[in-house]
Amino acid sequence: MTAATPSPAVPTDDEVLATLRKALTEVLDAADLAQVDLDAIDRDTPLLSLPLDSLTLVAAMSFLETSFRVFIPEQKAFAFKKVGELVDFVREKAETKAAKAAKAAGTAERRGDA
């Protein structure tokens, strides 16, 4: 019998925020990045206060999707008002994915597949 695959981890608020900060360093050009105090970005930061146009916003969302293996619909990405809404969305998607993985692992274990 093999060990069950571990469930995907649900990121903390701080992990999502740190990944967003990293995404900004990857997608913003130097002039725009110079306008941002990365350390000051928190749950209450309005997304519109960040120098993101539609292309850089989509690129930042893609970075988060890849990092946390979640899907952020484009229309949802443009609807977030504050960073905290984005953080909550990523965490909720990760929690749902982890719950599904745990349920699938439990089903496989009961069947003897694991």
User: Judging by beta carbons within 10 Å of its beta carbon (0-12, 13-18, 19+), is residue 4 exposed, middle or buried?
Assistant: middle
pLDDT, residue 7, reads 47
Does the structure show a pLDDT above 70 at 99?
A: yes
pLDDT level of residue 2 (50, 70, 90 thresholds): very low
pLDDT value for 108: 61
In this prediction the pTM is 0.83
Q: Which domains does the chain have, with CATH numbers?
A: 13-106 (1.10.1200.10)
CA distance 88 to 71: 13
Q: What local confidence, expressed as pLDDT, does residue 112 receive? A: 64
Measure the CA–CA gap between 36 and 96, rounded to whole angstroms. 32
Q: Is the pLDDT of residue 15 over 90?
A: yes
Residue for token pair 């909720």: 92
Cα–Cα dist 2/15, whole Å: 31
Pick 2 or 82 by higher pLDDT.
Answer: 82
Average of pLDDT values for 54-67?
Answer: 96
What average pLDDT does the segment 39-65 reach? 96
Task: Write down the pLDDT at residue 111.
Answer: 64
CA 42 to chain centre: 14
Angle subtended at Cα 99 by Cα 105 and Cα 47, rounded to the nearest 5 degrees: 145
